[in-house]
Amino acid sequence: MTLRPLTAADRAEALAAEQELAPEHFQFLPDRRENEPWPDFVARIRSQEHGEGLTPGYVPATFLVAEVDGRLIGRVSIRHELNDVLRRFGGHIGYGVRPEWRRHGYATDLLRRALAACARMGIDPALVTCDDDNTASIGVIENCAGVLHDRGAGPDGGIVRRYWMPTTIWPA
């Protein structure tokens, strides 16, 4: 698996992933604006890493796609800092794997690599959240040394689990 920035050539695969994950209420392409030209979206996502062009309420973040054999199988967002909303619901890391590629260890690998990237950014520990009923994500987080901090009300009325995770234990 390769983690890399989103490119103009990823349009078809990324839009397909967005559609596949929409029924789960997961945005494969965070903050994508309707009718925004694809090259503009890619440039904006990349500039957000430096805090440029941020939508109000957003923080600087690194967005990477996971590629296996030329296919986008998932993605990760690494938020460089936390605001009030991210402290409650989103955390430092948001990740997702397309349904076809689940149960192959990719989510665990993706999270471990994101945690290593957090360590390189000076983030330790990192906050990672998931819905209380997302047993797959709970397993991934706990398999990556996540320690449950608490459970609380989520933005949609469900329960959200908040985990603090060490970042410096993962090889860069």
CATH number at residue 87: 3.40.630.30
Q: What is the mean pLDDT of residues 42-47?
A: 94
Q: What is the mean pLDDT of residues 63-86?
A: 96
131 belongs to a structural domain: no
Sheet strands side by side (includes 2-5): 2-5, 61-68, 71-79, 93-97, 126-131, 159-165, 147-153
pLDDT for res 29: 95
DSSP state of 90: I
How many residues would you count in the chain? 172
Peptide bond into 155 cis (omega under 30): no
137 belongs to a structural domain: no
Please name the helix (run of DSSP H) or strand (run of DSSP E) that holds residue 137, with its range, or none. helix 135-143
61 belongs to a structural domain: yes
Domain of 61, in residue numbers: 2-123
- Least trusted range by pLDDT, from 73-77, 103-107, 115-119, 156-160: 156-160
pLDDT for res 128: 97
Rounded CA separation 94/127 (Å): 10
pTM: predicted TM-score of the whole model, two decimal places: 0.93
Contact yes or no for 33/58 (Cβ under 8 A): no
Q: Is the pLDDT of residue 62 over 90?
A: yes
- Least trusted range by pLDDT, from 16-20, 31-35, 74-78, 108-112: 31-35
Rounded CA separation 154/161 (Å): 9
pLDDT for res 156: 81
Mean pLDDT of the chain: 94
133 belongs to a structural domain: no
Longest alpha-carbon distance in the chain? 42
Percent above pLDDT 70 for the chain: 99
